[in-house]
Chain A
Amino acid sequence: MSDRLRFLKRDLTSASNLGKLDADGWGGETVALVGLANTRWVFFNTGRSEMQLKKQRPLSQKYAHLGRVLFGFLAISVFTSPLVAWQSAEVNGANLFPKSTNLYVEIGQPQTVVEKLVNHPLRKKIAKLEPVKQGLSAPAMKQFRIGLALLEARVGEKWLPAVKQLTQGGLFFGADLSTESVGLAFYSNDEALLKKTAGEVLGFIKQQGGAEAYEIKTYRKGKLALLDGLVIGRFGKWFLVSNQERFIRQMVDNLRDSVERGKEISGTLASSESFQKAKSKKSATGDLWAWVDLQVLRNAPNTDALFAGRTDNPAVELLFGGILEALEDAGFVSGNLEFNDEKLVIDTSLPFDTQSIRDAREFYFGNKALGQAPPFIEMPGLLGQVASYRDLGRWWLAKEDLFPEKVIADLSLTESQLSTFFGGADFGEEILGALQPGLMLVAKKQDYLAGVNPDIKLPAFALIGRLQNPQRETRFRISFNSFITLLNLSENGNMTQFDVQTMKQKDYRVTSATYLREDDADEGLIQYNFSPSIAFQDDYMIISSTEDFAHELAEATQKIESTQSSDSNTVMVLNSEAIKKQLELNREVLVAQSMMGNAKSRDEAEAELDLVLSMMQYAEQAKLDYRIEPNEMGITLQVDLQNAD
């Protein structure tokens, strides 16, 4: 390979390494299995100390643990109830928790939620999945059902109607992360039922664990049962659970002093300013609302990177600089979750003062934080799109203010290497700066010519920007030609040639480099996915990985109304069906990777892939909306669910 090319390749790699983000994927556990697993846990493992959050575990595991606890309790309700008329109980759960609480979750109307989940069309579909069926028929599940049936017999009610009544008034969860304490409370309208159920549960535990299984203490005219790692208590219509005695006592105090008397007192979560501020913004509708105090996270070890307000990674800065800016000072983050048969919406927001944005971040927010993302391209069959307000020219120029010496030196090196293509033009001002702020990234499944059949099938993707000055077109076209020429001159034995042509259509021009295919022995090469192209339509510049896509986009941009724009800083849309098709095209490669990454057998790898693909069917589309408002920064995720059978 020629040295220039080798060095370029290395620079591009290191540039992309600069932008590599570590993403820990979330496992695809269905609500069902999680709920089941955790309910079993709760009922049968109360004797073990695993529930106790051990100090040795890393932070993330602890939080995952907390999450499990929450899911577990939620899931009990999930799988157990149809509806009964909701009786209004205007309880402010936040009054129960002490001020030191830094995570709070509220489900105001659990039975509505449960109703929606139980009757959700997807639930039946999920239940039909193989792994779920297997999980449901496992011996552990059978044990659970037997236990449940016994409990029903004792309480004298079927579990479904029982639990629905037990949580009518609301379900509230609070945690103090610095002391690792969690608390859960729910309010029932039927006190007698609650009393009986609690009694039976305790009896059950005694049976399993013997006389030593728990200890009863009296507190504030109520009883607390101290199990191993868990404390529970019923106080009137309230049922409280916690993992630490001290915490539950605080809850009981608040219950007696505040909630029951209908008074607001200081020392509860509800009295915290930060909390009130967040609550005031809570929307009226919504199934679940959560609040997290960021101050605690700020003080926790290993979170400096998140709250530093800056990053050493230029790509991270480009993508997330604004979020870092907000996190630096934000006191809390709150979120709202709402769903129905058609969609799931999660809204999160951070308080944010747009008046105090650093100058260097103008590339991200725009002038006075009013930067808007460009409008979407209308085109069927897209895998997804991202439209964002980013001013690349300003970003490059701001690097002196944003990054440490070392990074600036590295960027200068990269610039020096890339300058070769741009005829020595100043990279920041003349190249990146030639673009208007407002970029789009689009991807689409591509069709291959007859006889062209790469083994790995990549989608076509393109970057779309607008030139400040359409005259610049020529410079970019020349640079593109230089780049292709360099590829052609490379001495790597595998590189064959790209043929460059410019096509002039009525309103746009496309210059593309198509891969020369002379030999049948060239079967399946990955290069067949690419015919790099650059297209210009009006002031739009489209850099595409395939020629066809460049043409399609050039035509599509003609239809964009120049007055259109979005209210958001960044919008992203992903189309599940299209993505699923793209993955299916590459089935063999994915299976191979899974086998090598885990030395799995082929059957296991295929089953795993099939599961992921069938789960992708449940959503039609996911949309992420990122907005800046004068006092708030918000991210909304909306997932449109697949309804048709």
Chain B
Amino acid sequence: MVTRRKMIQATFGGAALITAGAAAPPFLWGASRQASQKSDEKILVVIQLSGGNDGLNTVIPYANDEYYRNRFTLAIDKAQVAKIDDEIGWHPALSGFARLLDEGQLSVVQGVGYPNPNRSHFESMDLWHTAHRNTKEFPRGWLGRCVDAHLSGELPAIHYGGERQPLALTTRTKPVASIQSLDQFRLRLGDHQPLSQGIATNLTKQRSHSDDLLGFIHENASMAMTTSGKLESILSASDAMKRYPETSLGKKLAAVSQLIESGLPTRIYYVTHDGFDTHANQAAAHAALLQQLGDATQAFNEDLKNKGHAERTLLMTFSEFGRRVRENASRGTDHGTAAPLFLAGGRLKAGPLNQHPDMSDLDQGDLKFTVDYRRVYAAVLEDWLGVDSSEILGRSFEKLDLFI
């Protein structure tokens, strides 16, 4: 349990501040009270699987011969599939997802796509990101629209990672922060204690300002110090990073979890996991990616549960499209259409929510979609984030029943 005393101690490392902290200026109380009030607000974490995830080898219809007929070298042996039910099972590398499912913390929506699949890689990506056909209007992402219209306060959405900001987050009016490391939230002033302590004292002291601009800045500075303090004590906890795999996705999710724990008012976090465009020699690469995904997600969920945030955090993966049913000549697969989408969190209806797309009824060699992706968006926007979805998505979509 991280007490305020520990936080202050951790940040400033000085006994002097403890005495100041004991007197706890009302300012600080106010800020942390604000933070705790916000702690009921729901958070969405999106993991973008860039490149087009091969859904057929992720959620495997192992009971279906068509699968083995079409995936001559890439098919996973029945014996190795981690069974979910009589018809589908996990790729063996997704042990993390299997565990989450066992704990009732994972949902699978299969056959997610859209009508008139556009095989242009770009158009398809744009569609998933903006939820609109290419209207040539200056594009804004579906999450960007949500931020512009509905989310107030500072830092409504954060893209964590070094990549270009994804289109899904592009806004028109409010800026979305693209952050690469937690250093921005921490005061990095080297080892000179008197300097750090002096600054900290100055910022956390309560002052009355006749000037409200200065007051605003001071208030923010205080809150920034609070966040910094929380982060420092979170990060200095000995097992801060231990539970997470040391992959890049693992590190990103660890950082997201730390930011959530530090009490930031951010509602949307977005990270990307790259490399799914496996046109050749898919087997080893895909297995590695799925392993990373499963392990990181499982660790993330576990961490959130321990810190009490699992009930208010929803994790959603998506990928621009799936891949073709039939394997290609290079032991890989090419761009396809429908694919499964995964959600993880404490309030979900766990398990597969629908059937695997029919493998005998293909559209030019591609799976036919059964769920329009915008229905998933609608459910997330309305039932989770609590905002109206029709404006954002362009029209009304019947939302899926995702939550308990």
Contacts and interface: CB of A to CB of B under 8 A. Distances in A.
Interface of A: 2-4, 7, 10, 406, 409, 412-413, 415-417, 419-420, 423-424
Given A409-B288, A424-B329, A424-B331, A415 B247 contact: no
Nearest to B331: A424
A10 B272 CA distance: 14
A424 B281 contact: yes
Given A423-B330, A424-B331, A416 B51 contact: no
B285 interface: yes
Contacts of A2: 121
Given A415-B284, A415-B285, A419-B281, 4 more contacts: A406-B247, A413-B275, A419-B332, A420-B279
A419 B246 contact: no
Contacts of B275: 7, 413, 417
Nearest to A415: B281
B280 A413 contact: no
* Among all A-B residue pairs, the 4 with the closest Cβ atoms: A424-B330, A419-B280, A416-B285, A409-B288
B246 A4 contact: no
Interface in B259-315: 274-275, 277-282, 284-285, 288-289, 291-292
Contacts of B332: 416, 419, 424
A416 B286 CA distance: 9
Q: What is the predominant secondary structure among interface residues of chain B facing chain A? A: loop
Contacts of B279: 4, 419-420
Contact of A413 (B288, B329, B331): B288
Contact of A416 (B121, B274, B284): B284
A412 B51 contact: no
Contacts of A417: 275, 277, 280, 285
Interface residues of B, number: 22
Given A409-B288, A423-B330, A416 B280 contact: yes
Given A406-B247, A420-B330, A424-B331, A4 B277 contact: yes
Contact of B282 (A406, A409, A416): A416
Interface of B: 51, 121, 246-247, 274-275, 277-282, 284-285, 288-289, 291-292, 329-332
A406 B280 contact: no
Contacts of B289: 413
A3 B277 contact: yes
20 contacts: A2-B121, A3-B121, A3-B277, A7-B51, A7-B274, A10-B274, A409-B288, A412-B285, A413-B275, A413-B285, A415-B284, A416-B278, A416-B284, A416-B285, A417-B275, A417-B285, A419-B281, A419-B330, A419-B332, A420-B330
A626 to B, nearest CB: 34
Contacts of B330: 419-420, 423-424
B285 A424 contact: no
Nearest to B284: A412
B51 A3 contact: yes
A7 B163 CA distance: 12
A412 B93 CA distance: 15
Nearest to B291: A409
Contact of A424 (B280, B291, B292): B280
Contacts of A412: 284-285, 288
Contacts of B331: 424
B277 A7 contact: yes
B280 A420 contact: yes
A412 B331 CA distance: 14
A416 B285 CA distance: 6
Contacts of A409: 288, 291-292
A416 B291 CA distance: 16
A630 B285 CA distance: 41
A415 B281 CA distance: 8
Contacts of B285: 412-413, 415-417
A12 B187 CA distance: 35
Interface centre among B246, B278, B285 (most CB of A within 10 A): B285
A416 B246 contact: no
B246 A406 contact: yes
A423 B280 CA distance: 8
A413 B276 CA distance: 9
Nearest to A418: B280
A415 B330 CA distance: 12
A629 to B, nearest CB: 40
Contacts of A416: 278, 280-282, 284-285, 332
A409 B277 CA distance: 15
A417 B282 CA distance: 9
A243 B188 CA distance: 36
Interface centre among B281, B289, B329, B332 (most CB of A within 10 A): B281
A424 B279 CA distance: 9
A7 B284 CA distance: 17
A406 B121 CA distance: 29
Contacts of B274: 7, 10
A406 B247 CA distance: 8
Nearest to A410: B288
Nearest to A413: B285
A419 B328 CA distance: 13
Contacts of B121: 2-3
Contacts of B280: 416-417, 419-420, 424
B332 to A, nearest CB: 7
A55 to B, nearest CB: 14
Nearest to B279: A420
Nearest to A426: B281
Nearest to B330: A424
Interface centre among B247, B284, B331 (most CB of A within 10 A): B284
A411 to B, nearest CB: 10
B247 to A, nearest CB: 7
Contacts of A7: 51, 274-275, 277
A416 B277 CA distance: 9
B221 to A, nearest CB: 29
B365 to A, nearest CB: 19
Contacts of B284: 412, 415-416
A10 B248 CA distance: 15
Nearest to B245: A406
Nearest to B320: A3
B104 to A, nearest CB: 30
Contacts of A423: 330
B254 to A, nearest CB: 15
Interface centre among A406, A413, A416, A417 (most CB of B within 10 A): A416
A416 B284 CA distance: 8
Contacts of A413: 275, 285, 288-289
A416 B282 CA distance: 6
Contacts of B281: 415-416, 419, 424
